[in-house]
Amino acid sequence: MPTLETSKSFDTLPIHCFLEKEKHNFLPKVWQCFFDQQTVLLNQTDTKSCFYLSFSNLSKKTPASANTLLEEMTWVLLSNPKCNIVIWPLSSIDNTQPLSLLTLKTKTWGVIKEQGYICLSRFKEYDLVKQGIHTALCFSHALIATDKNVEQALSLVRRLKNKLTLEQKLFLMRKIYAVRELFSFSYQDKNEYLAHKKTWEPFFIRPELVLNSKIVPAKNRIPVLIATHWLELGGAEKFAIDLIKALPKERYAVYVTTDVASFNSWSSEITDEVEAIFHLPGFLTQEMMEVFYDYLIRSRKIRLMHIHHAIQAYESLFHIRRFHPELKILDSLHIIELPPNEGGYVDSSSHFFESFINHHHVISHYLRNFLVQRWRVDEDKVSVIYLNVDSEYFNPELVKKGQIRHILKIADNACVVGFIGRFSQQKQPLEFIKAAQLLQQRWVEEGQTNPLVFLMTGSGLLESEIKQAIKKTTGTTILLHPQVQDTRLVYQDCDILMMPSENEGLALVSYEAMSMQTPIFFTDVAAQNELMESEFLVENTQPLAEKFAKAVWPYLIDSKKRQQAGEKMRAYIQGHHDHKQTNAELLALYDALLTK
What CATH number is associated with residue 542?
A: 3.40.50.2000
Please tell me whether residues 349 and 234 are part of one structural domain: yes
CB atoms inside a 10 Å sphere around CB 382: 20
The secondary structure element, H or E, covering residue 574 is helix 559-576
Residue 532 in this model has a pLDDT that exceeds 50:
yes
415/427 Cα distance (integer angstroms) = 23
CA–CA gap between residue 211 and residue 198 (Å, rounded): 28
Shared-domain flag, residues 95 and 232: no
> What is the domain range of residue 519?
396-577
DSSP-derived letter for residue 234 is S
Instruction: Say if 210 falls within a structural domain.
Output: no
Are 381 and 303 in the same domain? yes
Q: Are 212 and 70 in contact (CB under 8 A)?
A: no
> What is the C-alpha separation between 419 and 499, in angstroms, rounded?
6
Q: Are residues 108 and 230 in the same domain?
A: no
239 and 328: one domain?
A: yes
Q: CA-to-CA distance for 36 and 67, rounded, in angstroms?
A: 9
Residues 543 and 377: their CA atoms lie apart, in Å, by 37
What are the residues whose beta carbons fall under 8 Å from the beta carbon of 404, sequence distance 6 or more? 410, 455, 481, 489, 490, 492, 493
pLDDT attached to residue 36: 86
pLDDT at residue 575 in the model? 96
- Higher pLDDT pick, 8 / 526: 526
Q: What is the three-state SS of 413-449?
A: CCEEEEEECCCCHHHCHHHHHHHHHHHHHHHHHCCCC
What's the half-sphere exposure (Cβ side, CA atoms, 13 Å) at 251?
Answer: 11
* % of residues, the chain, pLDDT over 90: 62
Helix (DSSP H) and strand (DSSP E) numbers for the chain:
23, 20
Q: What average pLDDT score do residues 310-316 get?
A: 95
Per residue in 50-88, pLDDT tens?
Answer: 899 988 888 777 776 688 999 999 999 988 988 999 999
* Residue 311 in domain: yes
Q: Both 410 and 496 in a single domain?
A: yes
Considering the domain architecture, whether residues 379 and 410 belong to the same structural domain is answered as: no
The domain total for the chain is 3
Same domain, 546 and 571: yes
Look at 322 and 171; give whichever has higher pLDDT: 322
Residues 508-522 pLDDT 10s: 999 999 999 999 999
Q: How far is CA 521 from the centre of its chain?
A: 28
Mean pLDDT of the chain: 86
217, part of any domain: no
**What pLDDT is attached to residue 95?**
82
Q: Does residue 337 share a domain with residue 252?
A: yes
Looking at the domain assignment, is residue 145 inside a domain? yes
Residue that wins the pLDDT comparison between 185 and 397: 397
* 567 has a pLDDT exceeding 90: yes
Residue 212 lies in a domain: no
Residues 146, 46: one domain?
Answer: yes
- Return all residues near 500 (Cβ < 8 A) that are at least 6 apart: 427, 428, 429, 431, 432, 435, 523, 538, 544, 545, 548
pTM of the model: 0.85
Q: Using alpha carbons, select from 565, 421, 537, 438 the residue that is nearest to residue 490.
A: 421
Confidence band of 196 (pLDDT split at 50, 70, 90)? low
**Do 368 and 412 lie in a common domain?**
no
Instruction: Report the pLDDT value the prediction gives residue 549, as an integer from 0 to 100.
Output: 98
What is the secondary structure of 348-405 as a DSSP string? Answer: HHHHHHGGG-SEEEESSHHHHHHHHHHH---GGGEEE----B-TTTS-GGGS-TTHHH
On whether residue 461 sits in a domain, the answer given is yes
Query: pLDDT tens for residues 450-491?
Result: 999 999 999 888 999 999 999 999 899 999 999 888 999 999
Sign of CA dihedral 252, 580, 422, 460: negative
pLDDT band at 174 (very low <50, low <70, confident <90, very high): low
Pairing of strands 85-89, 117-121: antiparallel
Considering the domain architecture, whether residues 180 and 253 belong to the same structural domain is answered as no
Structural domain includes residue 123: yes
Residue 209 covered by a domain: no
How would residue 573 be classed by pLDDT, with cut points 50, 70 and 90? very high
